[in-house]
Each structure stands twice: as C-alpha cells, then as structure tokens.
C-alpha cells in the first residue's frame, strides 16, 4: 500500500521500531553514493555500481579526490557551497561527471551530512540537462491552490492533492494516508487507474510504519523506489575507515529498502513507489504514497516539484485545520468564561458548574459529568451511578499521576466500566484535590473499521539461511473489525479546556478560602468582643442585683409586722426573681467562658472528671435516691474542668426530669474508629423526638419554670463544650420512655488509655449530708 521503508528482524512487530534500518550499507542501483573526507573531498567509501554508471571500478575511486571526476571550475563552485552551513544553495545541482576516457555524463547531485557529521554525495543520472525554472514550480502549485479555493472540506482538499500529484507523475495509484492518534493510519484520499482495487477508507496497523520509520520520513521528506525488483548495491568498504563505524544513511535518497519492505511491495503488486512526507508542527501528519505496477523512474527535479506541491498545498490544509480548531477553541472559551462567572456568583463552585446553561457538558462536548466532592456526588446528564463512581474514583486515585486523565476506551483499561459502557466508555477526569474530582463521560460508539488485511496477522515468521525472519502479510483484502467499548476521542482542544477549568476552579476555591478566612477572622474578633461584653455585663449586673436582694430582704425584716399577706407574697416574688436572675447570669458567664479559656487539651482521666461531677451532685443524688452506674472510663485528650461541667449538666438534667420511680442513670463509654462515644441514659420523662435539636439552643425550654426550674442554658453549654473538643452531641428519646444523650470526643494522638470501673448508688454518698 505505502512506501513503508523499514527493516523487520524481530518476531514481535512492536519491536520493529528498534531496527537499524538506516545502517544497511546498501543503495539502490540507479544512483551512486560517495562518502567524502573534508576538506580534501577524498573519497572514503563508494557504491559498487560506479563501473556500470561511470565505467570506473570502485576500487579505482577509493582514496582519490573529486578532481578525478570533476573539472576545476565545478569543483571550486561546489567547495564554495560546501563551506556554507546550509546546502540548499547547491542542492540539487547539475554536474558533468568525467567517465572512463574523455566522455562526460550529466548527473543530479545532492550533498548532505548524516547525523554523525559525515559528508555524503549522491548522484543520479539527469534526464534533462537544464534545471526546471522557479516559474514552473509556481505554476504547478498555482493550479492546485486555485482548485483548493473552490472546495471546503478537508477530504476534498486531500482528494485534490492526490489528483494533482498523479497528474504530474502519472503513477497508477496515488493515495493520501493520514495517521491516527493511536498510530494506525487510514487512506483518506485516492486517485488510481480503473483496473486497480480501491484502498480508499482502509485502515492499516501501526506496525506497517513503525516509529523509527516515521522518524526517517520526517528527516527525508521524499523517497523513491524506482524498481522494487532491482538488486541492491553494496557500499565499499561497509564501515567508515576512519572510525570503523556503520554508515548512517538516515538522510540518503538512494538508501536501499529493507528486504521485508520490498516483499511488502511485491505482495501488493507494486513495481515502483514514491512517498512524500506531510509534516505538521515537526510531526508526521501523513504521507502521499504513489504506486506503479511496473518500474518507474521519476527525475529528481520532478520529485522536488511534487514535494513542493505537497508542502504548499498541505500548508493550506493545515491552515484550514487550525481555523476549525480556532473556531472550536473560541466556542469552548466562551463556555469557560460563562462557567467562571457562574462559579463566582454562586456560594460554591459546584452549583456554578451544574445549575446553569451552558454547563459542564458544553465545555468538552460530553453527554455526562460528575463532580465528586468527598463522598458527595453532583451528577449532570447521563452518568454512572454513585456506587460505580465511588469505585471509579478509588481507581483514579491509584492511576492518576498528573492533574488530568483521559481515554476513549475506559472499559478496556478499567474492566468494571463495562457495566456502564453505554454512558461511560470515554472518560476525561481532572483532579482538584485529593478528594475532589470533575469527571466527564462519553457513551460507547460501536464502529466497523475496514482494514487492509487482518491487522492481527500483519507479519509471519519463516527461516531463511538458518535465521528466523519476518515476512509481511500476503493478503490485503478487506478485513472488517467491530470495535466496541470505545467512545469518540477527546480532542486536544477539549483536554486543554478541561485543564483551564481546573485552574479556574482552584483559583476560585483559593479566593473563596481567603474570603472565608477573612470572614472567620472578623467573626472571631466580633465573637471575642461579644464574649467580653457578656462577661463584663454579667459581672457588672451582679452588684445591683445583690443590692436589690439585700434591700428587699431588709424591707421584709424591718417592716414585717406592718405588711399584710399580699406584701409578703410580693416580696417573695422579688426575691425569687433576683435569685433566678443571678442563676441566669451565672449560666451566661459559664457559657461565655467555655471557649474563652483557650485551654491546651491534655491527657485527661474521664473517671476523675466524672467523679468530680458526681461529688458536686451528691446532695441531689442522695435526696432523690438516684442510682448511678457507669462503665470503665478511658483517658482522652480534653479539658478536665469542661468535661466535669459536661457530665454535671447531663446527669443533673437526668435527675431533674425524672418520672415517678427513682432515677436510674447509666454513663457508658465505647471506642469508635477515631473517637470515644459517651452516653448518659436515664429512665425519666423523655421528650418528643421533634425537639431533639431545639433543646441544645440557648435559652430554649420545653417546660415552664413552674414545672421545672432552670434557665435553658445547660444543654447549650454542653453543646458548646463538645464542639470545642471537635466532637458532636445528640439525643435519642421518646416521650415517657427516658432519654439517652450521646457525645463524642476524638481520640488523642498520644498517651495510653487507662480504664477502671465503678458502680455508685445515691445512698453510698450518705444521707442527710
């Protein structure tokens, strides 16, 4: 099919790219190769066909200078050109070579230096003594460009190229072969004689043109094999006599094809081939491949005309592709700008990406998207379920090495994705943080790919002269393959858009974090001022309250005999009000002190804190005949005083809100994965579960003061203490069934836990104390 110029001596086709196809030390017989020493231009190596083309034996040229075959005028002009870094001024050049005797022959000469810096001269017999003028090249290209301006699609462009190249060269078949991202290739345009079987639309495996062969196509833009059945000519000597190194023929136009490639051409019925490289951004975009059934020589200048045509016309194709990419990039840029505006306006970036139009899907032309923030998933469009996403994220954490990952065949790489292939055969993922990802999905697109022969049997092995060799496939008949588990590929511009979105999200999150930090700082300062005010106000209120209480009691003592029963009742009301106010002030002070103390948590024996709380409550415990039991308690990182206050409030509440039987209270402790779970269970009156959150709000009460005394501060203080310890508190209860209050204290990072058990009843504290 193509001019696939590469050697294949390994069994595994994947290893073909490792072959040294550029050091074969053989050339095609239609030209002469000379290796020259600088600056003397002495001939160090020569192809063995000089006798055929010049009538001079190769051994008679070795050690001679170019003066042997060139006149002084030509030699001086060539030496002046060789002194320049760029050989374009002397390539190609018509020179007259002195043959055996006094005859001369005109050759096209091409000088180049190989990657090792060795100067090489290649000569091909010239069929016309004059050089094709520039205007002829211009007219060749102008006709094609005029045709290109009349069409619009990339495929039409390609078709015009092959038509024009075939018109110039008169090959039986001219094809344009474009490489895919996966290394395979497809014939996208073809012009041929009617009797040949069409190759248009056929795909060919990557092993047909391995990577090393592509590198040589980049180095040498045009390649001619005028006779695929011609016998190669050896270079003598095979190694450079100065270094004993193999001769590097990467840039050679005469380098002999490998036997495997020649067999490839024979299997396709090709007698001659011409290949023109199409280069875009330094990479091999495709090839123009010309095939002829019989030997066909193309003069060097005509080959250069085809190369010139290919470059000029392909530049138009590249410009058209870049225009299409630019238009699409601009469209995605508009979507990205809108998304950034939405993210800035919303409280969080997730709502900005998912609740507006355009949204995440429009950024990369996806059918589904998911924003994974910790264990929360926001889904847009058609996506896998949350359970599948959970495992996919775990796999991504192990797979994702950079900030982005994308594939158009996820089920092949991640087999579990086969379950959701209809919506997730293609995946594009960006990582925002360790636990935050944005994923896009594309559905499976089942395709039928037409191959030129079975790609799974691209090569065969056989023994030749005791060596194991590879031979290319003999059949290039249509072979259909159904491709599953694959989506439409992600375009580079879409991948870039996803990366830009990642940067935007990170910038917005960082900015919001700065704003939150500033807000937190302002709140902290405001809270500090409020706490200070509450403390000062509560403290300053104590003195006038004490005065009120003292004077009311003094009034009662001095004028008791002169006051009637109503006055006594009013005085009692005043004293009780003052007492309640003092209790309320004490509770406000206790509430404000919880996080004003700025204590350093230390290893605290919960038993000690609990015993202090029980000691403070011993009078009420004895009076109510309360039975208290508790589990063995651990050591935790906490503040002992606050922990004592917490237990005291919870146990005091359990005693206060008792039912008819004597109170029975149990304090429990249970180790969780990263915290201790404590519980205070009672057999009291309980509460309706609908009030389970309300009771922890400051000044909130479920009963009147006539029923149960109190200020409504006790549980609010408990909640604040627990939250200061980075824990949480809640209640489980039913009316009339008692209540169980739970709270957690995170496990400290150091210290050993000590536990010991107790069982205490009210009468153990003694009666009448």
Task: Check residue 765 and give its pLDDT.
Answer: 30
Task: Check residue 758 and give its pLDDT.
Answer: 40
Which secondary-structure segment (H or E) carries 97? Answer: strand 93-98
* 3-state SS assignment for residue 636: strand
Main-chain phi, psi angles of 86, to 5 degrees: -105, 130
* 93 strand-pairing partners: 109
- Closest-CA residue to 68 (of 112, 34, 25, 17): 34
Instruction: Give 91's contacts (C-beta < 8 A, 6+ positions apart).
Output: 109, 110, 111, 112
Instruction: Give 422's contacts (C-beta < 8 A, 6+ positions apart).
Output: 443, 444
Three-class SS of 345-379: HCCCHHHHHHCCCCCHHHHHCCCEEEEEECCEEEE
Give the number of other CB atoms < 10 A from CB of residue 486.
Answer: 20
432-457 core/surface letters (b: 16 or more CB in 10 A; e: else): beeebbbbbbbbbeeeeeebbbebee
Residues of the chain under the 70 pLDDT cut: 1-22, 128-152, 324, 446-483, 510-517, 520, 522-523, 526-543, 576-600, 698-712, 748-769
Taking the C-alpha atoms of 379, 381, 383 and 389 in order, what is their torsion angle to the nearest 10 degrees? -10
User: Tokens 């870049």, residue?
Assistant: 322
Instruction: Give 25's contacts (C-beta < 8 A, 6+ positions apart).
Output: 234, 235, 238, 246, 247, 249
Give the number of other CB atoms < 10 A from CB of residue 611.
Answer: 17
* 35 strand-pairing partners: 45, 120
User: Tokens 């923030």, residue?
Assistant: 373
User: Is the Cα dihedral 689, 690, 691, 692 positive or negative?
Assistant: positive
Task: Check residue 9 and give its pLDDT.
Answer: 39
- Closest-CA residue to 260 (of 553, 545, 21): 21
CA distance 152 to 160: 11
Contact 614, 651 (CB under 8 A): yes
- Closest-CA residue to 570 (of 552, 585, 545): 552
Residue 31 in tokens: 């030209």
CA distance 452 to 199: 8
Q: For residue 395, how many C-alpha atoms fall within 13 Å in the half-sphere facing its CB? A: 16
User: Tokens 């350093």, residue?
Assistant: 600
Which secondary-structure segment (H or E) carries 557? Answer: helix 492-558
CA distance 738 to 683: 4
CA distance 325 to 327: 6
Instruction: Give 78's contacts (C-beta < 8 A, 6+ positions apart).
Output: 66, 70, 90, 93, 95, 109, 111
Main-chain phi, psi angles of 693, to 5 degrees: -95, -35
Euclidean distance between the first and the last CA atom of the chain, given in angstroms as a whole number: 108
Main-chain phi, psi angles of 687, to 5 degrees: -155, 160
Q: For residue 360, how many C-alpha atoms fall within 13 Å in the half-sphere facing its CB? A: 31
CA 651 to chain centre: 55
Contact 134, 304 (CB under 8 A): no
Contact 422, 394 (CB under 8 A): no
Task: Check residue 516 and give its pLDDT.
Answer: 65
Contact 677, 667 (CB under 8 A): no
CA distance 395 to 407: 14
| Number of separate helices (H) and strands (E) present in the chain | 19, 30
- Closest-CA residue to 501 (of 553, 437, 584): 437
Task: Check residue 750 and give its pLDDT.
Answer: 39
Task: Check residue 527 and give its pLDDT.
Answer: 65
CA 255 to chain centre: 43
Helical H segments across 268-299, by residue range: none
CA distance 161 to 289: 11
Pairing of strands 404-407, 467-472: unpaired
- What one-character DSSP code corresponds to residue 143? H
Main-chain phi, psi angles of 286, to 5 degrees: -175, -175
Task: Check residue 447 and give its pLDDT.
Answer: 59
CA distance 686 to 695: 12
Residue 288 in tokens: 């123009």
Instruction: Give 740's contacts (C-beta < 8 A, 6+ positions apart).
Output: 679, 680, 681, 682, 731, 732, 733
- Closest-CA residue to 767 (of 606, 625, 558, 600): 625
CA distance 469 to 98: 43
Helices 606-616 & 640-656 angle (0-180, nearest 10): 50
Helices 154-169 & 300-345 angle (0-180, nearest 10): 170
């Amino acid at each position: 099919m193509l001019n696939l110029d590469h050697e294949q001596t390994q069994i595994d086709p994947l290893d073909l790219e490792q072959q040294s196809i550029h050091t074969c030390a053989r050339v095609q017989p239609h030209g002469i190769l000379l290796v020259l020493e600088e600056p003397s231009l002495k001939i160090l190596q020569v192809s063995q066909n000089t006798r055929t083309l010049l009538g001079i034996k190769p051994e008679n040229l070795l050690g001679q200078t170019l003066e042997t075959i060139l006149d002084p005028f030509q030699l001086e002009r060539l030496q002046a050109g060789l002194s320049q870094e760029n050989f374009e001024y002397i390539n190609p050049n018509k020179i007259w070579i002195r043959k055996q005797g006094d005859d001369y022959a005109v050759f096209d000469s091409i000088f180049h230096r190989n990657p090792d810096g060795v100067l090489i001269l290649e000569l091909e017999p010239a069929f016309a003594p004059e050089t094709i003028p520039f205007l002829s090249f211009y007219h060749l290209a102008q006709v094609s460009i005029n045709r290109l301006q009349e069409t619009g699609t990339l495929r039409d462009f390609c078709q015009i190229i092959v038509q024009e190249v075939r018109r110039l060269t008169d090959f039986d078949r001219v094809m344009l072969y474009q490489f895919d991202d996966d290394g395979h290739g497809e014939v996208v345009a073809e012009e041929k004689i009617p009797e040949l079987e069409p190759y248009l639309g056929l795909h060919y495996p990557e092993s047909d043109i391995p990577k090393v062969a592509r590198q040589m196509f980049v180095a040498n833009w045009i390649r001619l094999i005028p006779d695929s059945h011609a016998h190669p000519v050896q270079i003598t000597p095979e190694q450079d006599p100065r270094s004993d190194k193999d001769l590097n023929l990467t840039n050679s136009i005469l380098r002999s094809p490998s036997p495997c490639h020649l067999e490839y051409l024979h299997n396709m019925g090709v007698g001659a081939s011409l290949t023109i490289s199409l280069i875009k951004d330094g990479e091999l975009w495709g090839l123009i491949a010309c095939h002829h059934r019989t030997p066909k020589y193309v003069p060097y200048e005509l080959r250069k005309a085809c190369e010139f045509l290919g470059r000029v016309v392909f530049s138009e194709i590249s410009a058209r592709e870049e225009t299409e990419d630019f238009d699409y990039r601009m469209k995605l840029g508009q979507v990205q700008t809108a998304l950034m505006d939405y993210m800035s306006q919303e409280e969080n970036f997730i709502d900005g990406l998912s609740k507006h139009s355009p949204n995440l899907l429009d950024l990369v032309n996806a059918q589904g998207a998911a924003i994974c923030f910790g264990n929360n998933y926001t889904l847009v469009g058609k996506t896998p379920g949350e359970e599948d996403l959970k495992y996919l994220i775990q796999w991504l954490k192990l797979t994702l090495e950079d900030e982005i990952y994308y594939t158009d065949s996820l089920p092949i790489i991640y087999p579990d994705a086969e379950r959701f292939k209809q919506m997730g055969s293609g995946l594009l993922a960006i990582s925002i943080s360790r636990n935050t990802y944005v994923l896009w999905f594309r559905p499976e697109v089942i395709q039928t790919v037409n191959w030129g022969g079975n790609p799974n049997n691209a090569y065969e092995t056989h023994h030749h002269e005791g060596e194991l060799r590879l031979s290319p496939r003999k059949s290039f008949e249509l072979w259909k393959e159904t491709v599953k588990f694959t989506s439409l590929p992600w375009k580079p511009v879409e991948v870039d858009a996803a990366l830009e979105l990642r940067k935007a999200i990170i910038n917005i999150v960082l900015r919001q974090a700065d704003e939150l930090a500033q807000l937190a700082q302002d709140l902290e300062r405001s809270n500090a001022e409020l706490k200070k005010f509450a403390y000062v106000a509560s403290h300053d209120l104590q003195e006038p309250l004490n005065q009120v209480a003292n004077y009311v009691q003094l009034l009662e003592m001095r004028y008791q005999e002169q006051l009637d029963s109503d006055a006594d009742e009013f005085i009692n009301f005043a004293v009780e009000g003052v007492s309640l106010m003092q209790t309320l002030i004490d509770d406000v002070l206790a509430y404000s002190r919880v996080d004003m103390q700025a204590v350093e948590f230390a290893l605290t024996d919960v038993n000690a804190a609990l015993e202090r709380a029980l000691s403070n409550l011993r009078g009420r415990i004895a009076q109510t005949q309360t039975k208290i039991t508790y589990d063995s308690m651990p050591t935790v990182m906490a503040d002992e005083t606050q922990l004592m206050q917490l237990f005291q409030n919870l146990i005091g509440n359990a005693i206060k809100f008792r039912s008819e039987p004597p109170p029975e209270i149990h304090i429990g402790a249970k180790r969780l994965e990263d915290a201790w779970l404590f519980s205070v269970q009672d057999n009291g009156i309980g509460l309706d579960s609908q009030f389970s959150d309300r009771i922890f709000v400051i000044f909130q009460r479920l009963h009147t003061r006539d029923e149960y005394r109190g200020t409504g501060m006790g549980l609010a203080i408990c909640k604040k203490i627990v939250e200061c310890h980075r824990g949480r508190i809640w209640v489980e209860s039913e009316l009339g069934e008692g209540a169980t209050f739970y709270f957690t204290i995170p496990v400290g990072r150091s210290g050993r836990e000590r536990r010991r058990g107790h069982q205490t009843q009210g009468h153990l504290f003694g009666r009448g104390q």
